[in-house]
């Protein structure tokens, strides 16, 4: 059987978790890749990476990976005022369940918007990770958004530019097309609610919690696409250097824009993050 066929044939198991957020009980399904008796890597996905999208990512993972869907932030306040609290509580719920089942992980990979919840959580509870891998992360180039009169408008401008790199893949990668359609249907980007929630995330810097983990000796690695316009590796490097974290390595995946991990371009990013997660530190 070819590598491609075996890659697609991988199955997964699931863990059902109830995320309790004040008066709401929100069901969450964690997906665990097949082929291992335990889980050593936790992969937190970004916004709206749920359901079929999370399943596709899981099937692309090697044995021993737990894939956590993106935080369902549409259950947060309409004005986005509780987004930091929401994502930290969501992360804590998942961490508690996975730790109870499998013990502490060797690696945590936090993708895009999930980087904030994971970094803020680990800032409080630092003994839950061997190493932290931030994959095309939100929160390390916050200044580039906050200096704009409208951080959300700046995001939309960058999304449009990033999309130019994705256009050639739309015809050949149906998962990319599915992701865009699902994101529009779920997030409803043109609404004031979406704008408020996105802005709450865009202005939340994770430089301070990352620096605390860094100074504590937690191994940290960043993975970015060369053509990521949303969170460009050059901007991340500049901000890390300015914060005294110039020694944190950034792996740059060539010719790759900011991409959902379920897509072909996204799998290049995922493969690099998984490769790093399996290294000894």
Domains of the chain listed by start with CATH number: 3-277 (3.40.50.1820)
Q: How confident is residue 280, by pLDDT bands cut at 50, 70 and 90?
A: low
Residue 7 has pLDDT above 60, yes or no: no
The three-point CA angle 111-185-198 to 5° equals 50
How far apart CA 143 and CA 119 sit, in angstroms, is 18
Residue 6 has pLDDT above 90, yes or no: no
Residue 10 has pLDDT above 60, yes or no: no
From the list 182, 111, 189, 135, the residue with the least C-alpha distance to 157 is 189
* Residues near 258 by beta carbon (within 8 Å), at least 6 away in sequence: 112, 136, 162, 225, 227, 228, 229, 230, 231
- 210 three-state secondary structure: helix
Q: How confident is residue 194, by pLDDT bands cut at 50, 70 and 90?
A: confident
Q: What is the pLDDT of residue 251?
A: 98
Residue 193 has pLDDT above 90, yes or no: no
The whole-number average pLDDT for the span 203-230 is 96
Q: Look at 145 and 194; give whichever has higher pLDDT.
A: 145
Token pair recorded at residue 2: 């070819």
The whole-number average pLDDT for the span 248-253 is 98
| Average pLDDT, rounded, for the chain | 91
Q: What is the pLDDT of residue 129?
A: 79
With pLDDT > 90 as the criterion, what percentage of the chain qualifies? 72
Residue 128 has pLDDT above 90, yes or no: no
Q: How confident is residue 78, by pLDDT bands cut at 50, 70 and 90?
A: confident
Residue 3 has pLDDT above 60, yes or no: no
Residue 5 has pLDDT above 50, yes or no: no
Q: Look at 116 and 35; give whichever has higher pLDDT.
A: 116
What one-character DSSP code corresponds to residue 257? E
Residue 190 has pLDDT above 80, yes or no: no
Q: How confident is residue 116, by pLDDT bands cut at 50, 70 and 90?
A: very high
Residue 120 has pLDDT above 80, yes or no: yes
Q: Is the dihedral of CA 22, 109, 226, 217 positive or negative?
A: positive
How far apart CA 74 and CA 47 sit, in angstroms, is 10
The whole-number average pLDDT for the span 185-210 is 85
């Amino acid at each position: 059987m070819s590598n491609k066929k075996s890659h697609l044939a991988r199955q997964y198991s699931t863990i059902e978790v109830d995320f309790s957020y004040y008066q709401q009980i929100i069901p969450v399904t964690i997906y665990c890749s097949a082929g291992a008796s335990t889980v050593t890597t936790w992969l937190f996905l970004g916004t709206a990476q749920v359901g079929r999208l999370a399943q596709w990512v899981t099937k692309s993972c090697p044995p021993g990976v737990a894939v956590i869907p993106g935080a369902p932030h549409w259950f947060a306040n309409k004005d986005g005022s509780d987004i930091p609290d929401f994502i930290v509580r969501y992360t804590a719920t998942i961490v508690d369940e996975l730790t109870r089942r499998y013990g502490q992980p060797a690696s945590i990979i936090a993708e895009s918007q999930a980087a904030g919840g994971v970094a803020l959580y680990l800032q409080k509870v630092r003994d839950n990770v061997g190493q932290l891998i931030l994959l095309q992360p939100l929160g390390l180039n916050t200044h580039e958004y906050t200096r704009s009169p409208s951080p959300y408008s700046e995001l939309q401008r960058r999304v449009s530019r990033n999309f130019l790199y994705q256009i050639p893949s739309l015809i050949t990668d149906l998962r990319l097309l599915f992701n865009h359609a699902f994101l529009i249907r779920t997030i409803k980007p043109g609404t004031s609610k979406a704008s408020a929630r996105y802005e709450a995330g865009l202005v939340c810097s994770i430089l301070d919690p990352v620096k605390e983990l860094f100074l504590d000796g937690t191994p940290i690695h960043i993975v970015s696409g060369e053509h990521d316009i949303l969170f460009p590796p050059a901007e991340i490097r500049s901000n890390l250097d300015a914060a005294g974290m110039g020694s944190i390595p950034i792996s740059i995946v060539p010719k790759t824009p900011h991409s959902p991990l379920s897509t072909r371009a996204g799998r290049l990013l995922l493969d690099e993050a998984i490769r790093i997660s399996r290294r000894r530190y």
